[in-house]
Amino acid sequence: MPGAWTKRRDIAPLADGQAEFEFAIPLVEFPRLAAQLARPEGTAQGRVRFSRVLGLAVAELVVSGEAWLVCQRCLEPMRRLLAGESRLALVVDAAGADAVPEGLEAMIVEDERVSIHELVEEELLLDLPNVPLHEDPADCVGSAASVVVRVQDETRQTPFTQLGELLKRDQ
């Protein structure tokens, strides 16, 4: 069941009050992330601190966790550590995003409101690899996909090998 992290809050009071929140959110609570998980396990934990920088509302986010993804080499579940840190300038439109100073990333928020859930989900999605793979290809050995590749390699034939033998016989 969603917790207080899904509640949308006005960014001005958060930034002016330098609010800080610690969180621990199950990964299955993030719909866009959950669709990419091999197993519905894991928790994202961390903290978010709001402040003002040059008049802009800023959220400093630190998040970590562990997710089960599907290795695209062997199609088996693999554990992936997630970790991210961001300094986000919370702006209401593209013009505001263009004015964000260096060192801050822009995040457009609707109605000058944001939820911790939105901030964390965006950070986790940015940390996911485009193509999840075991770091060491040897970790994939023994899977059905790697066995098929090895069998194909062993039975590989080159088409011109037999042609060369035929040409020798004709001479």
pLDDT, tens digit, for every residue of 30-49? 999 888 899 988 999 999 99
Report the pLDDT value the prediction gives residue 171, as an integer from 0 to 100: 65
In a domain, residue 45? The reply is: yes
For residue 41, the SS3 value is: coil
In a domain, residue 16? The reply is: yes
Report the pLDDT value the prediction gives residue 95, as an integer from 0 to 100: 79
In a domain, residue 158? The reply is: no
Those residues whose C-beta lies under 8 Å from the C-beta of residue 77, and which sit 6 or more positions away, are 38, 39, 68, 69, 70, 71
Angle, CA of 22, 81 and 8, to the nearest 5°: 35
In a domain, residue 150? The reply is: no
In a domain, residue 129? The reply is: yes
Report the pLDDT value the prediction gives residue 45, as an integer from 0 to 100: 94
Report the pLDDT value the prediction gives residue 63, as an integer from 0 to 100: 94
Report the pLDDT value the prediction gives residue 70, as an integer from 0 to 100: 92
Report the pLDDT value the prediction gives residue 103, as an integer from 0 to 100: 85
In a domain, residue 153? The reply is: no
Positions of the chain with pLDDT under 50: 1, 145-146
Q: Which domain holds residue 9?
A: 4-135
* Spatial distance between the Cα atoms of 35 and 133, rounded to a whole number of angstroms: 17
In a domain, residue 144? The reply is: no
The total number of structural domains in the chain stands at 1
User: What secondary structure letter does DSSP report for 101?
Assistant: P
In a domain, residue 14? The reply is: yes
Report the pLDDT value the prediction gives residue 137, as an integer from 0 to 100: 86
